Structures are given as C-alpha cells and as structure tokens.
Structure 1
Amino acid sequence: MKPYWFIPTHGDSRHLGTSVGARAASFDYFRQIAIAADSHGYEGVLIPTGRSCEDPWLVAASLIAETKRLKFLVALRPGLVTPSLAARMTATFDRLSAGRVLINLVTGGDADELAGDGQFLDHAARYEQSAEFMTVWREILARSHAGDALDFDGEHLSVKGAKLLFPPLQRPYPPLYFGGSSDAAHELAAAQFDTYLSWGEPPAAVAQKVADVKARAARHGRTLSYGIRLHVIVRETEDEAWAAAADLIRHLDPATVAAAQARFAQMDSVGQRRMAALHGGHFDKNDVRKGLEIAPNLWAGVGLVRGGAGTALVGSAEQVAQRIREYEALGLEHFILSGYPHLEESHRVAELLFPLLDIDRGANAPAGPVLTGPFGEVMANGIVPRHVSAS
C-alpha cells in the first residue's frame, strides 16, 4: 500500500465545528505537516481545493523546497483554468519538483461555489466538460515530448495549435487521480484516469464501486489502480480511540449539525449524498458510536459537519490496521489519510500504524545511508531503549 497524508488548507482544529482548539492556516503550519509527512515516508500529501481553501497550486509550490521526496496530489478544476494553461502549470511543477506532482481532478458539486467561480453547468454537462478538459490536457502533455501541437474542437472546449515547449519529467504526463460516485464519474475515471479514489464507505459498498469502475475500464482496454480517502483516529487501545472520537465532536450542537447537513443537501454531488446517507444526521453526544459506527471501526461522525470525506477508522492500531488490510484485499493500493489535528496525527499514524502495514516505500525510500539505532532516548549515558516489535 501507499499511504498519503493531508494538508488542511481550509483550517485545522482539535474539535470539529468550533473555534476551540483551532489553528491558523499558515505557511509555517503547512510546512510542519509536509516535513513530518516527508520524514515519515508518506507517499505524498493531498491538497484540497474550493473556496474554503487556500489555493492548492500555490501551497504545493511553496512546499517543494521544504521537502525531499514527498509528492503533491494537487487539484485541477475544469472551468477555472484552460486545459492548455493547466498543462503548462503541471509541466512546470513537475520539472521544478523533480517529478513529484500528482493530479487530482475535481469537478465540484456545490452550485453556489461553482456560480461564484463563473461555472453554471449542470452535473451532466460538467462531466462532459471534464472529459474534454482531460482529453486536451493529456494530449498536450503527451505530445510535448515530441514537440507536437494539438487541434481540438469539442462541445465545451476548443484549442488550435496548442503546444507545450517544456515537457514534464513524468511520461507521458504525471499520474491522474479522480474520485466520484455517479455513473458519469465512474465512466470518466475508467476512460481517462490512472487511479480511482473512493471516499470511506463500508467495504461492501467500496467493492461494488471498484467492480463497476474496473468493468468500465476493461471495456476501454484500460487497467486502473484504486484508492480510498479516510480519516483515522488511532490510539494504543480501542477505548482511547473512541474517547478521542468523542472529544473531536464534543463541542458540536444539534443546530450546527442541522445547518451543515442542510447545506450539503443543496449540493448535486452523488458522493456527498452517499456520505450524508451513512449517518442520516444522527448525533448523540452521550453515545458517539450509536448510529455512527456504520461498519466495524468505521465511524461517520466526521461527516456531521465536514463536507467531502466524512468517515474515520477508529480503534487500536491493530484494529485500524486490520480494517485497512480488508480494504487492501479489495484491490485498494492508495490510502489518503488524515486526522485532527493534522500535525500530531501525522506522527501518530506513522508511529502506530506503519509498522503493522506492508507499505511500498518506492521512491520515498530514504536517500543515502539509512541511519540505524539507537531509537528512543538513551538513558543514563549508556542504556539503550529496548526494541519492542510493533507487530
């Protein structure tokens, strides 16, 4: 498996739905998280997009020189930039980062946000536009290695003589990631993308989505890899983990939950509707598992007020590792994880979970000589901490 972490460019906190324990979304904070992820050997970091976030491309670019091996999964939004400009941005980032950019297409599902960005297409038309956008983007980058130009005339987008003089390092273009739960999303993923991502639904539901995308990809003569986006609340014991889940939402109130759910209901995202259906707005401070533990150790409490990925794996390190292995058995390879607050949890997840998982270090293997022990604090000028196997 390949583990990824998350840069919280929309803000971070110890508690959802409140300013208590909140942190400023600053460069210094993003830098700390990126360095922690890089040091622990995460494959990369997802950087979100939307009007609630700092711009993902500027944030990612600011972190290139702060990291060594970390990859950046950066969002592209069709309609906000032209595919030709997006191709140049991609190639430049790939060149400046020595091949560390990954692309995540986001079509958007919030009508108010889309209108504010000058986008007025309905759900079906947005996916048509996205398909044309990716066709142009892919062709420009792929042809750049030979210096060829592209002419394209579509329903939503057209280019004539589109050309890229500085090709990306990754051939034919940086890897493409995409998530979506509608039929249109599955078809687009199958036809044009390298990795399909699901939000954290119960394993049976994820298996159905993977099977559908896999069948569609086969009809296109293509093979994809698969991944999942999950929050993680992992502790040394199960009781500690559920106590942490309760603490995460302890400042929530029914009015805040109702307001958030009403706002989500206005969106046309199929994935967002599926997230909301998992918890049904159920909220009981006295029993955070009741109505929210939708599968063993899979908790929908995050989605009470957070849009997008709204589920977390909650439990001891052994329990969470087992749940991850169950998803891995479905064919999932990419695990995009996060936890509140993101700096401390990046360390905790790496320290508790990584020793229990079969992680593909790949290009993120440490460069140069690998430092050996002692690990931990040396005591009394000579007593080395005892090694205890985490597994």
Structure 2
Amino acid sequence: MPIEFIGIAATQEISESGSATPVSGRDGVSTRTETGHASGPVVQPGYLRELARAHEESGFDRVLVAHSSASPDGFTVADQILTHTDRLGVLLAHRPGFVSPTLAARKYATLDAFHPGRIALHVITGGDDADQARDGDFSDKPTRYRRTDDFLDVVRKEWSSDRPFDHDGEFYRVRGGFSAVRPATPIPVYFGGASEDAVRVGGRHADVYAFWGEPLAGIAERIREVRAAAAPYGRDPRFSVSLRPIPAATEAEAWERAKEILRLTKERVGEVRKAFHLDHAEQRGSQRLLEYAAQGEIHDKRLWTEIARTTGAAGNSTALVGSYEQVAESLLDYVALGVSTLLIRGFAPLADARDYGTLIGLVRAEAERTGTAEPAGEAVVPV
C-alpha cells in the first residue's frame, strides 16, 4: 500500500521570532506552534494558498484542516485549499454534535463533488471539556463517544442510500433521510483517540485510525487493540502516526535545532497554556506520551519526547531528530509495523512544509526499493 503523507494547514502566518500568541489549538494538531507566534489577521487567504501549494510541491498527499472552538470554519478553508491546488487532498476535521449528521454528510459530499476523491473526514470526538463548553456542549466524554457512534451511522447512510431512509438512534432520529449528492467513491473516515471508548467506536467506523507519535512498541500495541476492536465488524483499518520531524543535513545540526526548539518552547509554554486554558490531563493519548517521556528522553533510535514533557503532551508533540536519512529511516520503521499514513508537521509551518519534500522523497524512494516491508537498521543517537 502506498505511503500517504499528511501535513497541516493554517490560515494565519506563524513566525518563529517574537512573543508567542497562539492561534488555536485542540485535538492533536493546532495552527500555532510551540516556538512561533501569529501575525496579521486570523484569516490570510494568500498565506493559506502559499502553504497549500508548498505542501503540494513537496509531495504531500493531504493537509489536515484542524478544528477547535476558536478556529475559522473548516469547510470554507478546505474549499479554498482544494480550489487553489491541483491534486492535494484535505483531511477535514469535524467534531460531531454541533451539525446534524445528515447536513454534515451533504457538506462533505458536496466538497467531494467539486473536488472528486480529494476530501476525507477526520472525526474529532473532543477530549477537552472546556473546549466543548465554548461551543455550548456540556456532555461528558463517554456520552460524546456514543454520540459519535450514532453520528457516523447516519453519515454513512446519507452517503450511501439511493432511497429515503429512517434512523432511530440514541442521539439522532431521521425520517426519510436522503441526499441528492453522494460521493462516487467512499469518502475515507479517519478517527483518533486512545481511550477504550475511542477504540471501541473507532474500531467500528474508522477507515484509518490515527495515533500520536509513540515508540514503536506502543504503536504495535495500539494497532493490535484497534484491529481486535474492528474484527467483529469485518473491518480492516489502515493506520496513521503523527510526528514532528526535526531533520537537518547532519545529525549534529538536527540536534542543535532541536535544542533551540526546546528552549523557545520552555519560554512560551506558560503563555500558550494560559491563553487557551489547555488541560490535557484527562486525555489518554496525552497520558501515554507523558508516560513515555517519564521513561526517557529518547526512545527507539531517535524519538524525542522533551517537547511532549514540556507542553504536557499538548497533542502531537513527539519528534524525530536526525539527518534527513536517519529521520526517513525511522519513519519507515513505523511503516514496517503496518502504518500507511504519516502525518508530519514541523515548528515553522511554511519553511518545514518546503523542507519536508526531501524527507518525503527519501522515504518513498526507500519504500519503493525495499517494498516498504523491512525495518531499517539500527543507528546511534547522541544525547
């Protein structure tokens, strides 16, 4: 199976200098960075187009349009990206509970009709009670996952039914549901979450199950859990891992940059957390990353956990540090476990999107040469 690369979209320019003013940030990926600050209006169409084109030119398959209670409307952002690129796809995050599933399904199907095969749904159930409350939702996490389960049942019916359908669920009732616009080919559903509820619901619905960047043994464990949850439904999901590569021409140069990123993160983390009241303590995914960080700064060959430790594992926060060849090697180790999607984003969005073209080229060339199956050899990582 081909390796899919996903980057990150942003509507506001991020600079690595000056004081930090976070843009938005929830659910694993945000448009701010740990080391950067936003400048100018929240929506900058020219910057979004430039960033999208940089991802396309570097060989990315999709960009993630993330979601938070403060973010610009994702459907509009996705349409802008798709309209101003030729082949780049969009992984559009959506949080069930605020838009009816029939309407959400038609919104995705309409995007797909204008840009066939280039839109995917990333289901974000919501792990932060405070962020849910900002949009008026005061349900607890178990309730939210049950709602997501019901939501996705209706979405798939709306996408696939060629005649009116009824639905009677715990959260949604539909009578005579029907959509005149339906995707010609199925819109893939990506799903994230580390809790038991997440695995249960994601096992039933996910085409791609997404993990944060854990050590290889942790990812292997999680793949087994999700496959076991999916098996009763006859599903065989693909898997994604989200990581923060810090590559450079040499290993020494990469570690120099990593240390500078950590320094800036330590300076700004309090400001970021205060601005958005970030509290990841109840998220099982964050807990797992912090547990690994407590065990050691570096795991496997070059998985670096210090950013996760410093930020309280605020989402996708573990890095791969090394030369381009070394980081490509470590990415292929995840592929060898059964991972087919690599969500990689950096700390300087536009510059890193351009820079990652080298990394993507190396990974794909080696995958083609080896058949993507075998883990790369061991390497020495300095500390």
Q: Matches of 2:213 and 2:49 in 1, distance apart?
A: 27
Partner of residue 222, structure 2: 209
**Identical columns (%):** 31
Q: Give the counterpart letter for 1:167 in structure 2.
A: R
Please, which runs of 5 or more residues in structure 1 have no aligned partner?
281-289, 362-391
Q: Matches of 1:256 and 1:167 in 2, distance apart?
A: 44
Q: Matches of 2:187 and 2:329 in 1, distance apart?
A: 32
- Offset, 1:123: 1.1
In the TM superposition, 1:225-304 aligns within 5 A as 225-253=238-266, 256-257=269-270, 260=273, 264-265=278-279, 267-279=281-293, 291-303=296-308, 304=310
- Offset, 1:138: 0.6
Q: Matches of 2:80 and 2:63 in 1, distance apart?
A: 13
- Offset, 1:265: 4.3
Contact 2:20 2:272 in 1 (8 A): no
Q: Determine if the alignment matches structure 1 residue 181 to structure 2 residue 194.
A: yes
Q: Matches of 1:129 and 1:64 in 2, distance apart?
A: 29
Question: 1:15–1:176: structure 2 CA closer, same or farther, 3 Å change rule?
Answer: farther
Q: Give the counterpart letter for 1:344 in structure 2.
A: A
Candidates 49, 53, 71, aligned match of 1:53 = 71
Q: Determine if the alignment matches structure 1 residue 159 to structure 2 residue 174.
A: yes
Comparing 15-24 with 102-111, greater Cα deviation is found at: 15-24
Q: Matches of 1:328 and 1:338 in 2, distance apart?
A: 17
* Higher-helix-fraction structure: 2
Question: TM-score, normalised on structure 2?
Answer: 0.83
Contact 2:302 2:322 in 1 (8 A): yes
Q: Secondary structure at the match of 2:358?
A: helix
Contact 2:67 2:93 in 1 (8 A): yes
Q: Give the counterpart letter for 1:350 in structure 2.
A: G
Q: Secondary structure at the match of 1:79?
A: coil
> Number of residues paired by the alignment?
347
- Offset, 1:295: 3.7
Partner of residue 330, structure 1: 337
Question: 1:317–1:142: structure 2 CA closer, same or farther, 3 Å change rule?
Answer: same
Comparing 77-86 with 254-263, greater Cα deviation is found at: 254-263
Q: Determine if the alignment matches structure 1 residue 8 to structure 2 residue 10.
A: yes
Partner of residue 380, structure 2: none
Partner of residue 231, structure 2: 218
Question: 1:360–1:53: structure 2 CA closer, same or farther, 3 Å change rule?
Answer: farther
Partner of residue 357, structure 2: 350
Q: Secondary structure at the match of 1:250?
A: helix
Question: TM-score, normalised on structure 1?
Answer: 0.82
Question: 1:58–1:301: structure 2 CA closer, same or farther, 3 Å change rule?
Answer: farther
- RMSD, aligned CA: 2.6
Q: Matches of 1:59 and 1:292 in 2, distance apart?
A: 37
- Offset, 1:263: 5.1
Q: Give the counterpart letter for 1:151 in structure 2.
A: D
Q: Matches of 2:272 and 2:356 in 1, distance apart?
A: 31
Partner of residue 97, structure 1: 115
Q: Matches of 1:253 and 1:2 in 2, distance apart?
A: 32
Q: Matches of 1:114 and 1:342 in 2, distance apart?
A: 26
Contact 2:55 2:353 in 1 (8 A): yes
Partner of residue 165, structure 2: 150
- Offset, 1:113: 1.0
Contact 2:7 2:62 in 1 (8 A): yes
Question: 1:263–1:208: structure 2 CA closer, same or farther, 3 Å change rule?
Answer: farther
Cα deviations by residue, 1:104-133 (Å, 9 ceiling, x for unpaired) = 000011111101112111111111000000
Q: Matches of 1:159 and 1:294 in 2, distance apart?
A: 49
Question: 1:311–1:355: structure 2 CA closer, same or farther, 3 Å change rule?
Answer: same
Contact 1:239 1:315 in 2 (8 A): yes
Q: Matches of 1:243 and 1:109 in 2, distance apart?
A: 34
Q: Matches of 1:360 and 1:165 in 2, distance apart?
A: 41
Cα deviations by residue, 1:304-352 (Å, 9 ceiling, x for unpaired) = 3372111111111111111111101110000011112111111211124
Contact 2:91 2:122 in 1 (8 A): yes
Cα deviations by residue, 1:74-133 (Å, 9 ceiling, x for unpaired) = 011111111011011011110111221011000011111101112111111111000000
Partner of residue 65, structure 1: 83
